[in-house]
Amino acid sequence: MEQLSRSIKLENLPAQVAYENQDHLPEKIIQFGEGNFLRGFIDWMIHELNKHGLFNGKVVAIQPTPHGRVVPKLNDQDGLYTLALRGIENGQIVERNEIISSISRGINPYSNWEKVLKVAESPDIQFVFSNTTEAGLTYLQEAYDEQKSPLSFPGKVTAFLHHRYKVMNAKPDAGLIFLPCELVESNGDVLKELVLRYAKEWRMSDDFIAWVINYNQFCNTLVDRIVTGYPKDNIEHYRELLGYEDVLLTAGEPYHLFAIEAGEDVVERLPLHQAGLNVKWGAITPYRELKVRLLNGPHTMMFSVCYLAGVDTVLEAMQDPDLGEFVKGGMIEEIFPTVKMDEKEKRAFVKSVIERFENPYNKHYLADIGMNAIYKYRSRLIPSLLDYIEQTNKLPKVILFSLAALIVYYRPDRNGGDFLIGKRGNDEYTIRDNKEALTALTKAWDQFENGGADVNSLTRSVLENKELWGLDLNEIEGLNELVSSNVSSILLNGMKESVKKLAKAATK
């Protein structure tokens, strides 16, 4: 079977695969990262811009870590790869397959740093994108060597900018626009501060530091799309469908959101919205709240309830009548009213979230959502809990049922070293969280099982822990009583029956 490359004949492609050659375009973007997300999100967006004649530029992808394996594959395929977008869109199952041609080449900076510096010398380069994970957008103490690539991502950016500054004689128009995509709040501001820190520690000139501050833009962004990557579970289906071999085949969902805080000059130079893309320019805080509360919040709200009820994935939970109604009820009745945004936009977002949860192609495991769930509950659901109480003077029953389920989920069967092992029937599962959370829940359950404490005392001891929740939840009138009652029901009747009981109470 022929390998995907620029030599592939267009007439041999099946009708289900779209392809538009963009080889003639200049390199305008340097991108730190070449993984599934960037290829399924940013590089796809640039490809769409180019198709509409709105950007006419290509991407140079830089390998972010010394042990990356994507760059050789990318270069073997002449920068090409297939993106398969699969899911539910406006109530319909869709599957679109397209060869993305926005990447010109990949560079391994650890063996070819001089090529990266050559990119820095190009007057065509305008933008810098990145996704090096949250761990990449951090400080790492390291020495500066002009001939070698720094190990850290911010270090690479600093060295790249310093070389560009020198070669281009500190021209103001040589400054770049940074749009980091790491899931870190105020990611542009964070990257800028890290670059300035490296510049000072590496004793670069005050003039260079002033040039970075005055002539480079670091935009805060928020990204949203699930990109699952290489579809190994059904790769034979794709080989037959495509008619060629693609080792970088990338699968993702149709939904996407890109919120960017930037000036009008950036909007004009990167008119993503004009290509029909779901891009929001301006303050990203409302969209962060929208995503955290109405996408991440329901994920955290559902995971322990649905997992302990016997299902393993988000899709299975949504397909179960009782669990699906539990999730939708909490999202629409309790979380939705707390989000301060245009009603029409909120309703559209909720519709898209439900479609994403019901995507038949995504295996989103509840146990994965449950990692570090105490912190997630605090950041994703406590704000909605407090706002709901303030608005209605009532307790949100679904949100608090999920809090009871979370406490039961953290019931340890045994110690697993750096984590705990819980049990669902005869099946074991891993409880992963920080040491403080695991210690607090272990102590509370031990007092219940071996120290004579009742359920009310169990929940009270957990809910009073300000380190876990940011406040003493027992101070909210009636909260401990409701959570305690739910924990008792789960322990006595099981999760599935308790969910049904909750639903019946809601209809009275």
Residue with tokens 């080449």: 105
- Tokens representing 293 are 């509360």
- pLDDT the model gives residue 284: 95
The strand pair at 227-229 and 250-252 is best described as antiparallel
Average pLDDT in the chain: 95
Residue with tokens 């930037």: 262
267-270 long-range contacts, Cβ below 8 Å, gap at least 24?
269/126, 269/177, 270/49, 270/55, 270/127, 270/177
Mean pLDDT of 343-363: 94
Close Cβ partners of 40 (under 8 Å, ≥ 6 residues apart): 83, 225, 227, 229, 250, 251, 252
Alpha-carbon gap, residue 7 to 5, rounded angstroms = 5
The strand pair at 217-218 and 17-19 is best described as unpaired
Tens of pLDDT, residues 426-478:
999 999 999 999 999 999 999 999 999 999 999 999 999 999 999 999 999 99
Alpha-carbon gap, residue 365 to 344, rounded angstroms = 30
CA torsion 407-408-411-416 (nearest 10°) is: -80
Residue 431: name the closest of 323, 336, 357, 440 by CA: 440
Residue 138: name the closest of 125, 120, 154, 127 by CA: 154
End-to-end CA distance of the chain: 62
pLDDT exceeds cutoff 70 at 508? no
* pTM: predicted TM-score of the whole model, two decimal places: 0.88
Residue with tokens 């303050």: 283
Alpha-carbon gap, residue 37 to 218, rounded angstroms = 20
CB 139 within 8 A of CB 154: yes
CB 125 within 8 A of CB 161: no
Q: Is 458 left (phi over 0), alpha (psi -120 to 50) or beta?
A: alpha
Residue 157: name the closest of 143, 141, 176 by CA: 176
- pLDDT the model gives residue 507: 63
- pLDDT the model gives residue 446: 97
pLDDT-wise least confident of 85-94, 210-219, 301-310: 85-94
- pLDDT the model gives residue 391: 97
For each of the domains in the chain, give its residue range(s) and CATH number, in order of start. Answer: 10-281 (3.40.50.720), 285-507 (1.10.1040.10)
Tell the burial category of 1 from Cβ atoms under 10 Å away from its Cβ (0-12, 13-18, 19+): exposed
Mean pLDDT of 378-392: 97
The strand pair at 177-180 and 217-218 is best described as parallel
- pLDDT the model gives residue 12: 79
Alpha-carbon gap, residue 503 to 325, rounded angstroms = 8
Tens of pLDDT, residues 19-62:
887 788 999 999 999 999 999 999 999 999 999 999 999 999 99
Longest Cα–Cα distance of the chain, Å, equals 76
Alpha-carbon gap, residue 88 to 96, rounded angstroms = 11
CB 30 within 8 A of CB 121: no
Backbone angles phi, psi at 498, to 5 degrees: -70, -35
CB 60 within 8 A of CB 28: no
Backbone angles phi, psi at 307, to 5 degrees: -65, -45
Tens of pLDDT, residues 130-184:
999 888 999 999 999 999 999 999 999 999 999 999 999 999 999 999 999 998 9
- pLDDT the model gives residue 133: 85
Alpha-carbon gap, residue 123 to 172, rounded angstroms = 12
pLDDT exceeds cutoff 70 at 116? yes
- pLDDT the model gives residue 24: 87
pLDDT exceeds cutoff 80 at 407? yes
